[in-house]
Amino acid sequence: MLKGVSLEVSEGKIVALLGANGAGKSTTLKSISNLLAAERGDVTKGTIEFKGKRVDKLTTNELVRMGVCQVMEGRHCFQHLTVEENLLTGAFTRKVSRAELAAALERVYHYFPRLKQRRTSQSGYTSGGEQQMTAVGRALMAQPSMILLDEPSMGLAPQIVDEIFQIVQDLNTKEKVSFLLAEQNTMVALRYADYGYILENGRVVMDGAAKDLAANEDVKEFYLGLSSGGRKSFRDVKHYRRRKRWLA
Each residue of 207-223: pLDDT tens digit?
999 999 999 888 887 77
Higher pLDDT, 225 or 11: 11
H-helix or E-strand spanning residue 206? strand 203-209
- Kindly state the DSSP code that residue 155 receives in the 8-state scheme: T
Smallest CA-to-CA distance from 135 within 88, 102, 85, 86 is with 86
Q: Please check the confidence at residue 40 and state whether its pLDDT lies above 70.
A: no
Q: Please check the confidence at residue 242 and state whether its pLDDT lies above 60.
A: no
Please count the other Cβ atoms lying within 10 Å of the Cβ belonging to residue 87: 27
Smallest CA-to-CA distance from 151 within 42, 64, 30, 12 is with 30
pLDDT digits (tens, 9 = 90+) for 89-145: 999 888 888 999 999 999 999 999 999 999 999 999 999 999 999 999 999 999 999
pLDDT value at residue 235? 47
- The domain at 14-208 falls in which architecture? 3-Layer(aba) Sandwich (3.40)
Of 4-8, 50-54, 216-220, 223-227, which gets the smallest average pLDDT? Answer: 223-227
Residue limits of CATH 3.40.50.300 in the chain: 14-208
Burial class (CB in 10 A: 0-12, 13-18, 19+), 200: middle
Q: Does residue 192 sit in helix, strand or coil?
A: helix
Residue type, 204: V
136 vs 167: CA distance, rounded Å: 10
pLDDT value at residue 58? 86
Burial of 15-37, coded b for 16+ CB within 10 Å and e otherwise, reads bbbbbbeebbbbbbbbbbbbbbe
pLDDT value at residue 230? 52
37 vs 109: CA distance, rounded Å: 34
Q: Please check the confidence at residue 168 and state whether its pLDDT lies above 90.
A: yes
Share of the chain above pLDDT 70, in %: 88
Q: Please check the confidence at residue 10 and state whether its pLDDT lies above 60.
A: yes
User: What are the two backbone dihedrals, phi and then psi, of residue 17, each rounded to the nearest 5 degrees?
Assistant: -110, 110
Q: Residue range 56-84: average pLDDT? A: 90
Best mean pLDDT range from 32-36, 99-103, 233-237: 99-103
Q: Residue range 159-186: average pLDDT? A: 93
pLDDT value at residue 229? 54
Burial of 217-232, coded b for 16+ CB within 10 Å and e otherwise, reads ebbbbbbeebbeeeeb
- Under a CB-based contact definition with an 8 Å cutoff, are residues 179 and 168 in contact? yes
